[in-house]
Structure 1
Amino acid sequence: MLLVERVLGSRIDPLLSDRLHHLEHHGQVDILNLPAAELARRRFRATSAAGEEIAIALPRDQKLFDGAVLVLEDHKAIVVRVDSEHWLRLQPRSIADAVELGYHAGNLHWRVRFQGEALLVALEAPVDSYLDRLGTLITERRVVTSVSKTDDL
């Protein structure tokens, strides 16, 4: 198992990009595909696209990101690619509904962003799990919902 204890830099860094480009032409760049939710973690295990087992153990001052270079050697590189993230868009119909929605999202520790008057919730479980937790806000149509990918926002 390969142990990665630090991020070397970004695939777009000039000092790294030339070497990566050369390795890509020789089929020697392996990809570690990760869901966006994994980026906040510092210690976990994963398997690269080529089947290499990788243990991630980053210090507190480093985070993973799309394009993070984990390994860069003469004949091998490993780069992080982040899967498209899906978001549940919740549009409250009134101020009272917005307050109640915010209360639920906060209590449930959902990862959120804002888009105008809508609350976007990062989907880390099936959509129905989120909708069920909102109860009457959804069943009484006090909040309108839709799902989109990060690229669509």
Structure 2
Amino acid sequence: MRTIDKRLTAKLASVLVKRAPTLTLPYDMRCKSRFAATLDSGEEVGVVLPRGTILREGDMLVANDGALVRVVAAAQSVLRVRAHDRLTLTRAAYHLGNRHTPVEVSAEELKLEADPVLEDMLKRLGALVERVELPFEPESGAYGRHLGGGHRHGHDETFAEDYALAQRVFDEHHGHAHSHGHAHDDDCGHDHAHCDGHAHDHSHEHR
């Protein structure tokens, strides 16, 4: 079995990229650094990359025999989030980011891994949500270990209402709520394939 152990950073000639065999992976597998995989040609390979590596669509990998392999982002079940106005979409992005949820961002929509709890929350915030099968390429660096707990500052009159709604949705689905002065989101029982391995919200709300 061949081993894939390097990711190229240099740009290659298009003819080499086009000829390379492909490895199609969903997002959760592209977050892993060591795993067994099957190329689209049917060949089984071992992937051993530096820890913390996140593979992206079009990345070029090198096997231990010098052969090239091109990464393809697999279509997977995602939530496509849109809104009638930019403010609603911005609020949706805020609450997802507040939970360190991996999100793919574009000018008119957001995409995230399919999740019934988050889908419910987004709909209650007024967003338009649909489940689709598409490749998923979330923003890099927006939910890694280097991020500490942020602080929420309610600078608009609807902040408290939006936050209370989002918190109530999570409490309903997880069957408990915290009554003390801090707003902690205990989503540990909620299984996302996050690259950082955890998604704890250590934010505090200041009035």
* Structure 1 CA distance for aligned equivalents of residues 121 and 112 of structure 2: 21
Task: Note the alpha carbon deviations across 1:47-86, whole angstroms, 9 max, x for none.
Answer: 0122221121111475533141323858x64332233575
Query: Is the helix fraction higher in 1 or 2?
Result: 1
2:103 paired with 1:112: yes
Superposition deviation, residue 111 in structure 1:
1.2
Percent of residue pairs bearing the same amino acid type: 17
2:24 paired with 1:40: no
TM-score normalised to structure 2 length: 0.45
Task: Note the alpha carbon deviations across 1:75-98, whole angstroms, 9 max, x for none.
Answer: x64332233575512427695885
Aligned equivalent of 1:70, options 57, 62, 78? 62
TM-score normalised to structure 1 length: 0.56
**Gap regions ≥5 residues in structure 1:** none
Aligned equivalent of 1:143, options 122, 127, 132? 127
One-letter amino acid of the structure 2 residue matched with residue 120 of structure 1:
L
One-letter amino acid of the structure 1 residue matched with residue 45 of structure 2:
I
* Structure 2 CA distance for aligned equivalents of residues 137 and 80 of structure 1: 31
Q: Which has the higher contact order (CA 8 A, sep 6+)?
A: 1
Specify the alignment match of 2:118 in structure 1: 133
Aligned to 2:21, the other structure's residue is in SS state: strand
Q: How does 1:53-68 map to 2 (within 5 A)?
A: 53-60=44-51, 63-65=54-56, 66-68=58-60
One-letter amino acid of the structure 1 residue matched with residue 129 of structure 2:
T
Is contact 1:30–1:77 with CA below 8 Å preserved after alignment?
Answer: yes
* Structure 1 CA distance for aligned equivalents of residues 119 and 40 of structure 2: 37
**Gap regions ≥5 residues in structure 2:** 136-207
Aligned equivalent of 1:121, options 102, 105, 111? 111
* Structure 2 CA distance for aligned equivalents of residues 105 and 61 of structure 1: 20
Query: Is the strand fraction higher in 1 or 2?
Result: 1
Across the aligned residues of Structure 1 and Structure 2, the Cα RMSD in angstroms comes to 4.1
